[in-house]
């Protein structure tokens, strides 16, 4: 349980920001985590997973605890479902590939998303018509204040668009240890989002009652994401920097008259105050930011939703760029963008 001082965290964040932590320790089991929390109760601390959804704007004056919990376990199966438990420190994409290879259906649309499994319910990750809440069963977490273990059901997690109770009411109060997913024996494919169907047809795969397989869907998603999103190993980034905003239908219809190509997707189940989700990337591109660069901080040339570090940008510089983008979009469209990335 060695604690390292004045430790570089540049290798632990996908933006590649050259920040340092006052103190840094890793944990690979629950007992070590409990001891670290107990022995450092009054120190400011954060849990670091894959570092793929975080922007360090300064050095961190406190203790960073790196999650290295590992393990995948099939708990049980019934006529319809597999119940699969994954430790929070398992890398997300290899876990999805494990499920695909074993015929556990439901996560194939979430292929190639960076980060660790423990972050998946925290922000209800989603892509191509699938969100974590669709396949989530339960999770186990440790309460930081007293190191007790607690189980959270789907309802307990209060999932919303890219959020959960762990980003709101319980933010900073629990550490997710493992997540159990309820995955399908008989796949229900989601092919109507993005360019999945077109990508499958381009590969010569027929779309009918027996095809494609979940592996073919996963491979199509991987090809699409690689064509649109930069590899953090080559250009520092944290994927989508902003959430897709939701606006009232009346506001969307007014904007649509002025901007006919503005894409929108109706949200259901929200009563009389029906909302339309609009594409943040489209809004940012329409404001002229796509491909913009200021020093080493920039907006990706193929996807305006992604802010990038071309080498030596500071977190403060990337944050300042995000502020300029938010102000620009609000001035032009009257829509306030929210950051999806956690700012430290």
Residues with catalytic function: 162, 240, 340
Q: How far is CA 117 from CA 94, 136, 270, 292, in A?
A: 10, 12, 29, 32
d(CA 286, CA 289): 8
Element (H, E) at 86: strand 81-87
- How do beta strands 60-67 and 20-27 pair? parallel
**Residue 141 per-residue DSSP state:** E
**Residue 107 per-residue DSSP state:** -
d(CA 144, CA 33): 10
Helix ranges restricted to H, the chain: 30-39, 92-102, 119-122, 154-157, 196-202, 214-228, 249-258, 280-286, 315-333
End-to-end CA distance of the chain: 25
β-pair partners for 184: 81, 105
Element (H, E) at 142: strand 136-143
Q: 10 Å Cβ neighbour count for 274?
A: 15
With tokens 């423990």, the residue in question is 118
Q: Using CB atoms within 10 Å of the CB of residue 16, give its burial: 0 to 12 exposed, 13 to 18 middle, 19+ buried.
A: buried
């Amino acid at each position: 349980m060695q604690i390292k001082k004045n430790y570089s965290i540049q290798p632990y964040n996908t933006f590649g920001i050259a920040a340092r932590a006052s103190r840094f320790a890793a944990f690979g089991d629950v007992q070590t985590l409990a001891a670290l929390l107990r022995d450092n109760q009054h120190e400011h601390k954060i849990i670091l997973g894959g570092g793929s959804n975080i922007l360090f704007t300064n050095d961190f004056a406190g203790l960073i605890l790196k999650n290295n919990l590992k393990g995948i376990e099939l708990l049980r199966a019934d006529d319809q479902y597999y119940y699969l438990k994954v430790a929070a420190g398992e890398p997300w994409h290899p876990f999805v590939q494990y499920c695909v290879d074993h015929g556990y259906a439901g996560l194939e649309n979430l292929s190639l998303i960076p980060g660790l499994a423990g972050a998946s319910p925290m922000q209800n990750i989603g892509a191509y018509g699938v969100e974590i809440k669709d396949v989530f069963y339960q999770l186990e977490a440790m309460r930081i204040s007293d190191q007790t273990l607690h189980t959270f059901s789907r309802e307990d997690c209060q999932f919303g668009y890219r959020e959960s109770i762990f980003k709101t009411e319980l933010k900073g109060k629990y550490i997710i240890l493992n997540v159990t997913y309820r995955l399908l024996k008989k796949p229900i494919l989601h092919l109507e989002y993005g360019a999945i169907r077109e990508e499958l047809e381009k590969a010569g795969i027929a779309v009918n009652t027996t095809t494609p397989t979940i592996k073919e869907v996963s491979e199509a998603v991987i090809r699409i994401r690689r064509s649109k999103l930069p590899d953090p190993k080559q250009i520092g980034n944290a994927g989508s920097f902003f959430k897709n905003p939701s606006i009232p239908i009346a506001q969307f219809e007014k904007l649509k008259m002025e901007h006919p190509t503005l894409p929108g997707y109706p949200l259901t189940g929200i009563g009389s105050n029906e909302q339309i989700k609009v594409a943040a990337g489209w809004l940012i591109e329409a404001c002229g930011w796509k491909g913009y660069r200021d020093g080493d901080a920039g907006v990706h040339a193929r996807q305006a939703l992604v802010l990038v570090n071309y080498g030596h940008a500071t977190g403060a510089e990337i944050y300042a760029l995000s502020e300029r983008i938010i102000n620009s979009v609000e001035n032009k469209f009257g829509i306030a963008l929210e950051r999806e990335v956690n700012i430290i």
